[in-house]
Amino acid sequence: MTTTQPEGPPSPRSAPAVADDGMEHFGYKPSLNRSIGKFASFAAGVSYISILTGTFQLFYFGFGTAGAAYLWSWPIVFVGQLAVALCFMELAAKYPIAGSVYNWAKILGSKFVGWFSGWMMLTASIVTIAAVVLALDSTLPRIWPGFRVIGSDDLSVTSPENAVLLGTVLVICTTVINAFGVKLMSMINSTGVFIELIAAVLIAIILAFNIERGPDVFFSTNGYGDGVSGGYLGAFLIASLASGYVMYGFDTASSLGEETNEPRRTAPKAILRAILASFVIGGAILVFAILAAPDLNDPLLAEKSGGLQYLVEQVMVSPLGTIFLICIVIAVFVCTLAVHTAAIRMSFAMARDNALPFGESLAKVHPRYQTPVVPAVTIGVLAIAILVININQPQIFTVLTSIAIIMIYIAYLLVTGPLLIQRFKGNWPPPDLKQGGFFTMGRWGLIVNLFAVVWGFLMALNLAWPREAVYGVGWYNAWGAFIYIGIIAAVGLLWYFTVGSRSMGVLKSHAAESRATPTAD
């Protein structure tokens, strides 16, 4: 076994603060190319959240389930996720490191807590890639009917097969880009985010100039919730999935910390700016879209084949609507690229601890491109496999989306929970944050952290609750979140307790000399 066995991570308060890149606490030597600037770091978080992808992809679900008033879930989700983001900002100010969630949970909790958090986040990211790319089929054929390669020419009818085909092509593209290095990925991602932000602001402005009704529509149930268990509250809780799907992934800015300049100062600011920009711009689009819709009773607004894309086309003149649809495609592209990038960093971070099967191969950095090529290809293949396996499943999109979000909420809980325990023990925040002028919540930290834990647990439970509207008919579908996540967890735990727990340790090829303790092969 070519690993080194470090003494274990020090407590957050006692960890040394000699260097300024966060890596000195984990016993790793630098192996990635540090070339990401402030905007690129911000762009990584924004592209994972992806304002246009999230708002356009699930508007039909939220509006169709709870009507216009479902938009109240947007600020609710923002407040909850902002609490999580603030906790992550403190951690990023101390440990801006690849596989952020994994390494944070490891140093705050234990080796097992870190591993399980990383396993949930990694598998969720792969599932998220498969879920995001499905959005292409609801947008590309509207730009040019020739993109409907398989299935009906009637664009009001969805084509799962075509969605899988287009999604597969996109995954191949993001695999190639990520394999060729972080500079190429960062350049494409930053350009795409710049276009997305401009397009999102312009969409909100144009919709605002075409308002058809007043804001009273947000204060009425309009008949939604009738016949639903729990009435309108039950419908609203289901619809909150549409908002919950957007505002996560902001930790990507920190996961690229080993490739970012001045990471302890850059990453926290990037996290905050990413979630704030997403909330303000995305919220403006959703509010003005509902106020500008020609007919809120149009059934296509609640259909995946219609939704927000259909609404924008109705409001805007044809050439302008087409341009914005192209911008949505760009947003889907960079979102997929960012999620793929985050998944690669997570697999690399775990693999260099030998915390995944075939750790040596997954942790290998290409000498020319200075990026983990094997994880890029492996994750791309797995995402395509998920698409192909589910090609004939009508609930594929909502099921994949829900499962991915829940697993990410679990991964986040495995960070905010141990962080809260460290606060109660008096081990957090470490004094060097305030002394060095790095971000810290100070006396508000305990309250915000406690709220983040409660919020994460309740939201994960809400999303996982068995509902036909999300998971389809039949007990095996209704309980799909528990079943599928249980299977994913069981597979990982089987490996961990039979192989992983005995062999985990920093690989010699990645160990800092000061922490390396040679062991027999």
Question: With 70 as the cut, is the pLDDT of residue 505 above it?
Answer: yes
**Secondary structure element (H or E) that encloses residue 238, with its range:** helix 231-239
- pLDDT grade for 320, boundaries at 50, 70 and 90: confident
Cα dihedral 198→312→310→318 (10° resolution): -100
Tell me what pLDDT residue 514 has. Answer: 53
d(CA 455, CA 286): 23
Tell me what pLDDT residue 394 has. Answer: 58
Tell me what pLDDT residue 155 has. Answer: 67
User: Is 403 within 8 Å of 129 (Cβ atoms)?
Assistant: no
Question: With 70 as the cut, is the pLDDT of residue 20 above it?
Answer: no
SS3 sequence of 246-257: CCCCCCHHHHCH
Q: Is the peptide bond before 429 cis (omega within 30 degrees of 0)?
A: yes
Tell me what pLDDT residue 5 has. Answer: 47
Domain range list for the chain: 40-465
Q: Which residues contact 74 (CB under 8 A, 6 or more apart)?
A: 243, 279, 282, 283, 286
Tell me what pLDDT residue 510 has. Answer: 78
**CA dist 37 → 33, 341, 390 (Å):** 12, 16, 39
Q: Mark out the alpha helices in 95-153 (DSSP H runs).
A: 100-108, 111-133, 140-143
pLDDT digits (tens, 9 = 90+) for 375-421: 999 999 999 998 887 676 656 667 777 888 899 999 999 999 999 99
Percent of the chain, pLDDT > 90? 50
Cα dihedral 264→269→272→277 (10° resolution): -150
Of 21-35, 379-393, 400-414, 506-520, the one with minimum mean pLDDT is 506-520
CATH topology for the 40-465 domain: Amino acid/polyamine transporter I (1.20.1740)
Tell me what pLDDT residue 322 has. Answer: 86
Class of residue 465 by CB neighbours under 10 A (exposed 0-12, middle 13-18, buried 19+): middle
* Length reported for the chain: 521
Question: With 90 as the cut, is the pLDDT of residue 85 above it?
Answer: yes
d(CA 148, CA 277): 33
**CA dist 299 → 4, 60, 245 (Å):** 61, 10, 23
d(CA 260, CA 264): 9
SS3 sequence of 400-423: HHHHHHHHHHHHHHHHHHHHHHHH
- pLDDT grade for 194, boundaries at 50, 70 and 90: very high
Using DSSP, state whether 37 is helix, strand or coil: coil
Q: Which residues contact 167 (CB under 8 A, 6 or more apart)?
A: 130, 133, 134, 136, 137, 384, 387
